[in-house]
Amino acid sequence: MQFANLNESVSVVIPCYNVGSYIDASLASVYAQTHKPREVICVNDGSTDNTLSALHELQTTYPDLIVIDQPNGGACSARNAGLKAATGKWIQFFDGDDVLLPPKIESQIALACSEPDVNVVIGSYQEVDANLKYIRTLTEAASPDIYIAIMLSRAGRTSSHLYRRSAVIQAGAWSTERKSSQEYDLLYRVARLGGIAKFDANAYTQLRLRAGSITHTNVAANVRRILELRITIFEDLSGEPYPYQDALRQALFETIRLAYSYDRDYALEILKQYLPKSFTPNRNRSYALAYSIFGIDGAERLSKLGQRIRGAA
């Protein structure tokens, strides 16, 4: 596989903020790839720990490692700085505390080259703890397409993707204004360009879940912004001859349910504005019946009651 796609150049861009304890293992996993990157670019984003000195020390091990130092501007700012310096046809954005298994880039380059006009490969991934102890695997698949996958938060994570660099640039690169769901915002804008998105069922990316990491998010703090992105997608696709309108409504409802747990009034407002009274959730029969009689308030109360009963059994 590697030899057939040997000329497909890949740039790896790593935003680094206070990852001095992790960057050694992360870089080792990049340099162990079976499809060798053209370049590896680490952007120190104003770290307050030993990250910058660790990067300079690692340049003795990896003489071709490119290190960019900039004041703290956030992960997206650092990614954009790396994107500007990158020269590869494909780009692997990679968080400085994650790990790539050796076949990751090779596997996704093969998918990217499997047909013309592929702009992104969406990877499955493993969640691990701070010590790389396995937690679970999330296998991503089009359901039924990239837009529904984004709406359902089943479209990978930053480190599990592989992008065509020109598509990222054409889409406007990373948003430095958005405070959450940055990878799905970029993924959606790349998808709107009209190219193909491929899904990689192989979980060759390990995402560390740790307090303070780029991928560690507080759902309660970010849920409204998550819903706002889903609403943008919903509004765009609802006005087009999109073939999966029912799946689109169901996906929006699932995000409204998430919001309901943290901001009931806002969730009810969005539900009333975007889903008709005739809407029926495609969930289990008892939930759908409760929703039809009592609305989301009653359906959610009965759902939580059922969970407590099952938990006590």
Do residues 204 and 87 share a domain? yes
Q: Are residues 168 and 186 in contact, defined by beta-carbon separation less than 8 angstroms?
A: yes
Do residues 230 and 106 share a domain? no
In this prediction, what percent of the chain has a pLDDT beyond 90? 85
For residue 261, the SS3 value is coil
**Residue 181 confidence class, pLDDT cut points 50, 70, 90:** confident
Average confidence (pLDDT) over 115-141: 95
Do residues 28 and 162 share a domain? yes
Do residues 160 and 288 share a domain? no
Which helix (H) or strand (E) segment holds residue 13: the answer is: strand 10-16
Closest CA to 231 of 247, 253, 215: 253
For residue 290, the SS3 value is helix
Q: How crowded is residue 9: how many other Cβ atoms within 10 Å of its Cβ?
A: 18
Please determine, for residue 2, whether its predicted confidence score (pLDDT) is greater than 50. no
Do residues 191 and 238 share a domain? no
Do residues 105 and 231 share a domain? no
The answer to whether position 251 is within a domain reads: yes
DSSP class of 156: -
Q: How crowded is residue 144: how many other Cβ atoms within 10 Å of its Cβ?
A: 11
Residue with the bigger pLDDT between 155 and 213: it is 155
The answer to whether position 297 is within a domain reads: yes
Query: Cα(27)–Cα(97) distance, rounded to whole angstroms?
Result: 9
User: How many structural domains are present in the chain?
Assistant: 2
The answer to whether position 89 is within a domain reads: yes
**Residue 143 confidence class, pLDDT cut points 50, 70, 90:** confident
Do residues 238 and 108 share a domain? no
DSSP class of 3: G
Task: Give residues with Cβ within 8 angstroms of 22, minimum separation 6.
Answer: 96, 97, 208
The answer to whether position 41 is within a domain reads: yes
Query: Cα(22)–Cα(46) distance, rounded to whole angstroms?
Result: 16
Closest CA to 251 of 273, 272, 227, 268: 227
Which long-range contacts link 285-293 to residues 24+ away (Cβ below 8 Å)?
none
Average confidence (pLDDT) over 38-42: 98
The answer to whether position 78 is within a domain reads: yes
Average confidence (pLDDT) over 200-216: 79
Query: Cα(30)–Cα(126) distance, rounded to whole angstroms?
Result: 16
Please, where are the H alpha helices in the chain?
Answer: 23-31, 51-61, 75-85, 104-112, 146-151, 165-170, 182-191, 219-238, 245-260, 264-274, 285-312
Q: The CATH number of the domain where 44 resides is what?
A: 3.90.550.10
The answer to whether position 214 is within a domain reads: no
**Residue 310 confidence class, pLDDT cut points 50, 70, 90:** confident
Task: Look at 7-21, 118-132, 258-272, 297-311 and tell me which has the smallest mean pLDDT.
Answer: 297-311
Do residues 225 and 285 share a domain? yes
Q: Are residues 160 and 123 in contact, defined by beta-carbon separation less than 8 angstroms?
A: yes
pLDDT score at 298: 95
Q: Are residues 280 and 291 in contact, defined by beta-carbon separation less than 8 angstroms?
A: yes
Do residues 87 and 196 share a domain? yes
Parallel, antiparallel, or unpaired: how do β-strands 10-16 and 39-45 relate? parallel
pLDDT score at 253: 97
The answer to whether position 213 is within a domain reads: no
Please determine, for residue 217, whether its predicted confidence score (pLDDT) is greater than 50. no
Question: Which of 183, 208, 233 is the last residue before a domain boundary?
Answer: 208
**Residue 144 confidence class, pLDDT cut points 50, 70, 90:** confident
What digits encode the pLDDT tens for the residues 54-103? Answer: 999 999 999 999 999 999 999 999 999 999 999 999 999 999 999 999 99
Do residues 117 and 254 share a domain? no
The answer to whether position 301 is within a domain reads: yes
Six-digit token pair at 15? 């935003």
Question: Which of 208, 237, 267 is the last residue before a domain boundary?
Answer: 208
| Containing structural domain, residue 193 | 3-208
Please determine, for residue 200, whether its predicted confidence score (pLDDT) is greater than 70. yes
Question: Which of 146, 173, 208 is the last residue before a domain boundary?
Answer: 208
Please determine, for residue 275, whether its predicted confidence score (pLDDT) is greater than 90. yes
pLDDT score at 220: 62
Do residues 291 and 255 share a domain? yes
Do residues 259 and 197 share a domain? no
Crossing angle for the helix pair 285-312 and 245-260, to the nearest 10 degrees: 40
